[in-house]
Structure 1
């Protein structure tokens, strides 16, 4: 059974997220820890995904990323925060986190982001690609579908047009767009395109 580990010192948030994930993703085991120290002490588990709060009592999330990846090398670590902190998010990515999820995201958007990051939902393990300038550009947590959506955003298409192109409902496209904005740590479509071009993710 796929396991997801939630590391957050707010018990109400953990309970809420655990309920959303358990109801939205079949056959998933939700594990919880109130601190990094508690998480690192867990034995006989191998989570596929770790949702890690940026701001924790004791050792904070940024400091713990490398330790978590040492303990569980195949595991994907995603930073979670109620605040949009581009500098922290960038630091987290540099230390090995694959993306960022906002605590303020709607439940369906959070579910979509988590599903995209789970191995049996995602079809690609590639996290690196080459930019047009020949430099290495990190896709972070972008899934193949999110990359398609990002490419079409770069063409200036609306959600309705993206849906027609990808044979998806407009509602589904909206969810993918919001998840993509979260991964890129931006708040608008225009900013997403600007950041993606700067990072070499799209032409």
Structure 2
């Protein structure tokens, strides 16, 4: 999640402060914007947000009911629901409405960061027992890439710039940059050109 900009929507100031420290100091997020309600969240520019952490209990429109309008406002930006409980009904409802994950507020910092990183990579993070499990990583040519990273790599091999990839995959340019960085790391490549050569040589995108 290094270099990403996260929008944190929660009405508890103390929790937002603690979460911001985790996201920036442990996760390396580039920035964290804060809102205390869905209405306040709508004041932010969708093009600058890479991921949304949305509390399930909010004044006015709650987190579950806020998923649909937030997805419409922030098209292509993954949403992870935050909750102090892990009720299976709420988790399933969040998944059905299009959330990319569901995190318990009591989760350890490392678990939070790992879950967010997985979602930014195109996966999902839901507790065990939910029908939909995280998207499996793809093992190609000895390298491990998420399905979303493989999609980005395909476009890289076609010579498309980040801006065009973002448009094709309905995500922000910064999210594309995060994916590219993860791809370079997974392939052991120093730059985009080397990553393309490795992908073509090993038939990863075929």
Instruction: With the length of structure 1 as denominator, give the TM-score of the two structures.
Output: 0.59
- Alignment partner of 1:99 is 2:101: yes
The equivalent residue for 2:9 is 7
Which of 70, 81, 91 is the matching residue for 1:89? 91
Is residue 35–residue 57 contact of structure 1 (8 Å, CA) maintained in 2? yes
Give the root-mean-square deviation of aligned CA atoms. 2.3
Say if 1:143 and 1:53 are closer, same or farther in 2 by CA, change over 3 A: farther
The equivalent residue for 2:114 is 112
- Alignment partner of 1:37 is 2:39: yes
Pairwise CA distance, 1:45: 4.4
Pairwise CA distance, 1:73: 1.0
Which of 49, 56, 59 is the matching residue for 1:57? 59
**CA distance, structure 2, for counterparts of residue 92 and residue 7 of structure 1:** 16
Q: What secondary structure, in the 3-state scheme, does the structure 2 residue paired with 1:31 have?
A: strand
Pairwise CA distance, 1:99: 1.1
Q: What secondary structure, in the 3-state scheme, does the structure 2 residue paired with 1:55 have?
A: coil
Divergent runs of 4+, >4 A: none
Is residue 116–residue 143 contact of structure 1 (8 Å, CA) maintained in 2? no
Q: How does 1:1-203 map to 2 (within 5 A)?
A: 1-43=3-45, 45-118=47-120, 122=121, 125=122, 138-139=132-133, 141-142=134-135, 144=137
Report the count of equivalent residues: 131
Instruction: With the length of structure 2 as denominator, give the TM-score of the two structures.
Output: 0.58
Is residue 100–residue 123 contact of structure 2 (8 Å, CA) maintained in 1? no
Pairwise CA distance, 1:142: 4.1
Pairwise CA distance, 1:25: 2.5
Is residue 49–residue 77 contact of structure 2 (8 Å, CA) maintained in 1? yes
Q: What secondary structure, in the 3-state scheme, does the structure 1 residue paired with 2:48 have?
A: coil
Pairwise CA distance, 1:143: 5.4
**CA distance, structure 1, for counterparts of residue 52 and residue 63 of structure 2:** 11
- C-alpha deviations, 1:110-137, integer Å up to 9, x for none? 111112222xxx2xx377xxxxxxxxx8
Is residue 46–residue 72 contact of structure 1 (8 Å, CA) maintained in 2? no
Q: What secondary structure, in the 3-state scheme, does the structure 2 residue paired with 1:70 have?
A: helix
**CA distance, structure 2, for counterparts of residue 60 and residue 7 of structure 1:** 11
